[in-house]
């Protein structure tokens, strides 16, 4: 499914989310924010080109598992299912990442507004 907001109902009932489209280069993965908001441990494949910045932040904070190959998928699920502390820590880390980056759209919008205003003023001089 390639639509924001459609999986929230499923994420509400899940402990682990595998991000579709991340095992194949041509798709480039999907958003990690939705499963993080729904307290899911997150597994992604190696191809997350559409969300590289987000995945890098999640990886840096131990907030997801990024696979190198589809062959690692089973062991990643087993690790999360068999190790509650690991899974809960990952979920908490993901929640922290989302909380600390909340409001970034508004911040970026303000930067763009200021830039346009500055450029407009400079072109009028």
Q: Give me 75's structure tokens.
A: 């062991």
Give CA separation, 124 vs 28, 35, 120, in Å. 42, 47, 6
pLDDT of 123 strictly over 70: yes
**Distance from first CA to last CA of the chain, Å, rounded?**
50
The CATH code that applies to domain 8-124 is: 3.40.50.2000
Given a cut of 80, whether residue 110 has pLDDT beyond it is no
Residue 5 — very low, low, confident or very high, per pLDDT cuts 50/70/90? low
What is the predicted pLDDT for the residue at 3? 60
- How far, CA to CA in Å, does 115 sit from each of 20, 58, 94, 108? 36, 29, 32, 11
pLDDT digits (tens, 9 = 90+) for 66-108: 999 999 999 999 999 999 999 999 999 999 999 998 876 777 7
Question: Is-above-0.85 flag for pTM?
Answer: no
């Amino acid at each position: 499914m390639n639509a924001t907001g459609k999986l929230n109902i499923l994420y509400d009932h899940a402990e682990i989310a595998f991000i579709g489209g991340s095992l194949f280069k041509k798709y480039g993965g999907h958003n990690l924010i939705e499963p993080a908001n729904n307290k899911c441990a997150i597994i992604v494949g190696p191809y997350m080109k559409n969300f590289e910045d987000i995945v890098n932040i999640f990886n840096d904070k131990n907030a997801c598992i990024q696979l190198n190959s589809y062959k690692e998928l089973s062991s990643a699920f087993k690790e999360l299912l068999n190790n509650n502390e690991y899974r809960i820590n990952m979920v908490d880390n993901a929640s922290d990442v989302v909380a600390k980056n909340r409001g970034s759209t508004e911040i970026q919008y303000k930067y763009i507004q200021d830039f346009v205003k500055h450029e407009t003023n400079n072109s009028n001089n």
